[in-house]
Structure 1
Amino acid sequence: MATRKNIYFASDFHLGVPLNDTAYTREKRLVRWLDSIKSDAAELYLIGDIFDFWFEYATVVPKGFIRFLGKLAELTDAGIKITLFKGNHDMWMFGYLKDQLGATIIENELVITRGEKTFYLHHGDGLGPGDRKYKVLKKIFRSRFCQWLFARLHPNLGIGIAQRWSAHSRIASGGKETFQGEDREWLVLYAKELIKKQHYDYFIFGHRHLPLDITLPNGSRYLNLGEWMNYYTYAVFDGEKLELKTWDE
């Protein structure tokens, strides 16, 4: 049996969109990837927007994702630690996945040290300059009052509204993002500002939907994990080096 030492990072699966057969095909592909890492994974970090929409009512959660959630349960039962980050699409994760999977739920950033390397982890939404409209909306949507109000909607209505909203999101269009240059990539600028105050070996983000691996000052690196509608990319740390890879069956 292989030694479980690797740490895996992935994000932006956007499960639930599009609402057709391709969504199931993508979910099955994710399950095969998870199955491929279960023999050597010690930890798995899912860095946000795992679901295109997620809201936990007191007694109801969005239907679907059975194969994916079942595979996560299998990994945790095998002793693999799973950490889930709230993204801008699935920020309304509360206690269900923690209770059912034993997963750790992260609201914003998380700093970890592994193999003498420090990692700064965050989904990436609302960081860096610009995007002021979303930063305001994020505060509203994450407020307890907003969550309480949404919970008053019947699930058929609330989840139906969310699904119609998702149909017009940038990920639903299926298009690929393009690199804007380091001086215009907000998360790169954010990382460069942060390392002026404190050194991190690696910055790992999602949200951008574009796999990127950029060398920063003082030996730091910025990685964006991409997404799983076009790129199927993830990162793995083996205790010594961090690599950005593409899942190729």
Structure 2
Amino acid sequence: MEKFQKYYLSLLVLVIYSNLQAQVNCKAVEGENCKKACEIFNYWGNFQGFKESQEKLDEAIDLCPSFSNAYMEKAVPYLKRGDFATWKKLIDKAVELESQKNLGYRGWCKYQFLRDYKGAIADIEALEKIYPTGYLGYSSNGDYELHIAKAICYSALGQKEKAISVIEDQLSKKNHNIGLFDYYQLGVTCFELGKYDKALENFEKQSKQYDFAENIYYKTKVSKVRNKDYLDVVS
């Protein structure tokens, strides 16, 4: 329970920090037109998806074509409504202008919404080149640190050993904040490779971190496999 509370406290701080990051300090923006674009973004970004908000973001882009936040904000409603082609055009422009700010978001969305595992890995690994030893950030839903998200993509591509290596490497880092589902993802990948002892070890760790139905289900599957192995031996 204490670990669970600590996790949610960290997640709450992350959410608050992310919300603060959404507001740009317009005084630090160079150029009068870009300052105006920034002010438009700060105000109309609060009305995401409304027609007038989208029109105002267009105005911000016209004023300052290099202001990546406007492209990013304008892209989100298209993603939510399933217009992935328009979303990609806008988010690609945001990444082109400020890759360090937008690569992680684009990569996660490629995984979550498009199941573009290779594209997601490419974006996250491009971000790793910018921050080779540092913090990459979290998925937009807050569930996974982006190294873990990359491992999930490797697993989905059938590269299970690679996925295990990435997760274990990340979990070994002292500055890694253990997520709600990190041990579960590692356990499932081990299970899929038939590494049942290692899988159970991680499911047990997951239970101590945060237990949930799917984790209990996989622990049961390990028990079922072990019982079958026992019956095969004694018969």
Q: TM-score normalised to the size of structure 1?
A: 0.23
Query: Which one has a bigger Cα radius of gyration?
Result: 2
Relative contact order higher in (CA < 8 Å, ≥ 6 apart): 1
